[in-house]
Amino acid sequence: MSGYFVTATGTEIGKTYLTCGVIEGMRRRDLPVEAIKPVLSGYTPDVAGASDSGLILQALGRPVDAARLDAITPWRFRAALSPDMAAAREERSVPFDALASFCARAIERAAGVMLVEGAGGLMSPLGHDFTNLDLIASLDVRIVLVAGTYLGTISHTLTACAALGVRGREPWAIVLSQSEQNPVTPGETAATLARFVDTPIYLMPRGGGVPDDLVEAMLG
């Protein structure tokens, strides 16, 4: 069993695309894989299949229904805001202990690779007084940090690495998900980041697949 927490430098960077791509890569190899996205905001029941959790279920080869959504995403909120704000709109909350226990149990029970996808960026608040980083710090997981290739991504990525370092953690891998606008080639961005971090860096072309070498590395 290996647990991986998929987080990012911000929202709409490519976490779900990566998560689904890894699932599909594992399934092509006939290897056991599971995934959860415990917290989701911006969820509309009428188009559940298009939600992040719906896409993950489809990648796993499972129907998108209420029971299976509950199983991988017990905290779902309608407003497309940070989860703490979205929950407040519904007079609800995300309890840290319950969330951390849910993730830990899923990781422990997984027969193979378990992917835990965060909500929003690394420092996005999930509850009243905790963020994705707090959740990560409570779990025995390898951290996959997804970043873009837009102007400013180097600062954002190094800031995320520094925040992890304060908690005694570091990314297991950095995945550069190609942005729509690129001031330089993704390879140049990777080369600059490599001067500051020792973490393996993988390139995920826009519209392309998840790198096979990343999937292979997850099997180690």
DSSP alpha helix (H) spans, 145-185: 153-166
Q: So what's the pLDDT on residue 116?
A: 98
Burial class (CB in 10 A: 0-12, 13-18, 19+), 43: buried
The residue type at 146? V
Instruction: Identify the sign of the CA torsion 28, 59, 70, 204.
Output: positive
Candidate list 13, 15, 16, 37, residue with the active-site label? 37
Does the pLDDT of residue 1 top 80, yes or no? Answer: no
**Is residue 104 pLDDT above 80, yes or no?**
yes
In the chain the beta strands, taken as DSSP E runs, fall at 2-8, 33-36, 39-40, 75-76, 113-117, 142-147, 173-177, 201-204
DSSP single-letter state for residue 127: S
* Nearest CA-CA partner of 53 in 15, 79, 26, 99: 15
Given a contact cutoff of 8 angstroms between Cβ atoms, the answer to whether 114 and 107 are in contact is yes
Q: What is the pLDDT of residues 39-58, one digit of tens each?
A: 999 999 999 999 999 999 99
Domains along the chain with CATH numbers: 2-218 (3.40.50.300)
- pLDDT tens-digit readout, 66-79: 999 999 999 999 99
- Give the integer Cα–Cα distance in Å for 25 and 168: 30
Give 71-106 as a 3 state SS string.
HHCCEECCCCCCHHHHHHHCCCCCCHHHHHHHHHHH
What Cα–Cα distance (Å) separates residue 179 from each residue in 19, 176, 184? 17, 9, 11
Asked if residue 220 has pLDDT above 90, the reply is no
> Per 3-state DSSP, what percentage of the chain is helix, strand, and coil (rounded to 5)?
40, 15, 40
Model pTM greater than 0.95? Answer: yes
* Residue 37 annotated as catalytic: yes
8 A C-beta contact, residue 127 and residue 119: no
